[in-house]
Chain A
Amino acid sequence: MSELRDNMPENFEPVKGETGNKQLDSLFKEIAAEPLLFSKEEAFEIIGATTVADATSTSINRTVVVGGAILFSALTGWLYYQFSNSETTQDSAANNTVEIDASASNTTSDASSDKNASFSAAQEEISRNAENQNSRNDNATIENAASENSNNNVAVENHSAKTNESLTANKMISGASVATKVESNKRKTIHLTTTSNKKGTGKLTLAKAPEVKSGSMTLKKDNGASLLSKTKVTQRFYADGSATVAFEYNKEPAVITINPRGIEQLTINNKLIKSEEYSLYEEIASEAFRRAKIEPLSEPTHDAKVIGDIPGIMTRALVRRNLISADEKFDFVLTGANAFLNGKVLEEEQRLDLLQVYQNASGKPLPKEGRFSVKQ
């Protein structure tokens, strides 16, 4: 820097667009005159689409962790009241948020998706009630409530109840404009409870591929044209390598959370999609991976909660890195400190890279004294 100062002319006062090189100046002017890629109206839309629930979600999370169970039972009663009473008030949107958060605190790894589904159904029910009421009374206040009800969603990650209190809150607001707000204060690595994954010894079994249930949903595809609207895409990235991408899909808001293992969660129009149906939404998944610049380890629509074929993934990783050829026999060992391929120590950079692949594939780091090996 001192050298630069020495070379800098005295009293140098730069002027915009006057570099001393006419060609450069002319090109600068042309670039500076290019149309803006993002209009002020779009910025207003983004801010207009956010809700107060975003600002309050952090405090709600804390409340949920401490007194979730009590809140849950209380809100179950409230829900019952809502179902039995067709009157919907302006406050119902905010109440819904609390209600779904309460479900998060009570989530167990197996039951979470069912609970989400039931709460999602409850949301829809409330929304319908509000709309019905609206149509009967022609009441503008209730119309607003219905609108908020139908577009707010707080979804819950599937996780082990013992170790994690992670909570992902996705809120899709406004049918026309899509914006995502994600709170990830307590997000941690997802711990899978598959027995073959617990010890990290490398003796990993292939997880059973999920069966696709036919006829359980309708995919409205028109003449093979894309149903994705890419004009309103928002993304959030997390330290654990996952990302949430929001699209408009078939004119409905779609939010997908992905990591290199596949899909963590997918909601369309606030409805949680079952993992068995992920393959029907390949367009969303592929686009999400492309936009988030995350490389899927197996298939884009793979359920991230299901352990993949780790030896297979590691083998493909070695092949892609030209460390072995596709049909070559090899012996690969990965430990916390070293990586050996056919008895030779790999470079530190390669070890770290392969360790990352392993962590992405298994969803957790190599245990301290752990070791992964694959042989062919």
Chain B
Amino acid sequence: MGSRDLEIEAERKAKFMSLYDPLHERLVRFVQTTVWDREEAQDIVSETILSAFEHFDKVRHHEAFLYYLFTIAKRKINRRYAQQKRLSGMSEEIIDRTPDTSPDVHRQIQIKELRDAITKLPDKYREPLVLFEFSGLSIKEIAEITELSENGVKSRLLRARQQLSELLEGTLHERTT
């Protein structure tokens, strides 16, 4: 490889990282909130970065990079979920391996229950919820990623919140009283 090729490759890497850098935290939060298993989440993030890097030259407009990156992550997560469904007992393992960050035992239980409830949400509700609440994406950005109208995203978000409240209604109430 000539020095010119190395230069071009270095430029390419720098360009990718300049696009990726502002989205890093959003991407990782999206993955780690959707996939609760630490190792799985790390794998998905690294695979997403690699895939995005391979083909990012095809992204004509820089504004489309967010859509491009999150679409890859979504596909990787969906494929991993499909794989897990083929194996029995996976979901239990995932819940059990989630990190405990809160020192309060009751709080830990509540967080685990919330994670469990988010996992149980249908994909169409879970995705907008995680992107909005944890990745901090705007309604417009989510609409682009999910290929929905902005109103469609809002209504799914509303429904996701409602379902989550319903799923947690009994448990949260019992713990606090």
Binding site for B on A (CB under 8 A): 1, 4-5, 7-8, 12-14, 16-17, 19-21, 23-24, 27-28, 30-32, 34-38, 40, 42-44, 46-48, 50-55, 90-91, 93-94, 179, 181, 230, 233-237, 291, 293, 295
A8 and B151 CA atoms in complex are apart in Å by 9
Q: Does B110 belong to the interface (CB within 8 Å)?
A: yes
Q: How far is the CB of A140 from chain B (nearest CB, A)?
A: 13
Contact B102 A30 (CB under 8 A): yes
Contacting pair B158 A37 (CB below 8 A): no
How close is A333's CB to chain B, nearest CB, in angstroms? 25
Residues of the A chain whose Cβ atoms lie less than 8 Å from the Cβ of B5: 52, 94
Q: How far is the CA of A20 from the CA of B5 in the complex (A)?
A: 56
A107 to chain B, nearest CB (A): 25
CA distance A27 to B86 in the complex (A): 31
- For B110, what are the chain A residues with a Cβ–Cβ distance below 8 Å? 23, 27
Contacts of A13 in B (CB 8 A): 154
CB distance from A353 to the nearest CB of B (A): 9
Min Cβ gap B67→A in Å is 19
Q: B residues within 8 A CB of A55? A: 9, 54
> In terms of DSSP, what is the predominant structure of the interface of chain B?
helix
Chain B residues with Cβ below 8 Å from A233 are: 39, 42-43, 46
Cα of A48 to Cα of B50 in the assembled complex, Å = 11
Q: Which residue of B lies closest to A95 (CB)?
A: B1
**Bound Cα distance from A34 to B107, whole angstroms:** 14
Q: Which chain A residues border B2 with CB–CB below 8 Å?
A: 91
The residue from A1, A17, A27 contacting B152, defined by CB atoms under 8 A apart: A1
With contacts A52-B1, A179-B50 known, is A37 near B28, CB below 8 A?
yes
- Tell me which residues across on chain A come within 8 A of B140, comparing CB atoms: none
Asked if B120 is at the interface (CB within 8 A of a chain A CB), the reply is: no
Q: Which residues of A contact B158 (CB under 8 A)?
A: 4, 7-8, 12, 14
Please report the C-alpha to C-alpha distance between residue A12 and residue B43 in the assembled complex, in whole angstroms: 37
Give the shortest distance, in Å, between A246 (CB) and chain B (any CB).
10
Map CB proximity to A onto B101-145 as digits: 1 under 8 Å, 0 otherwise: 110000100110011000000000000000011101001000000
Whole-angstrom distance from the CB of B115 to the nearest CB of chain A? 8
A293 CB contacts on chain B under 8 angstroms? 83-84, 86-87, 90
Determine whether the beta carbon of A235 is less than 8 Å from that of B47.
yes
- What is the minimal beta-carbon distance from B164 to any residue of chain A, in angstroms? 7
Q: How far apart are A151's CB and chain B's nearest CB, in angstroms?
A: 14
Residues in A neighbouring B13, C-beta threshold 8 A: 47-48, 50
Q: Once the chains are docked, how many angstroms separate the CA of A40 from the CA of B45?
A: 11
Closest Cβ of chain A to B50, distance in Å, is 6
Near A by CB (< 8 A), chain B positions 1-48 give 1-3, 5-6, 8-9, 13, 16-17, 20-21, 24-25, 28-29, 31-33, 38-39, 41-43, 45-47
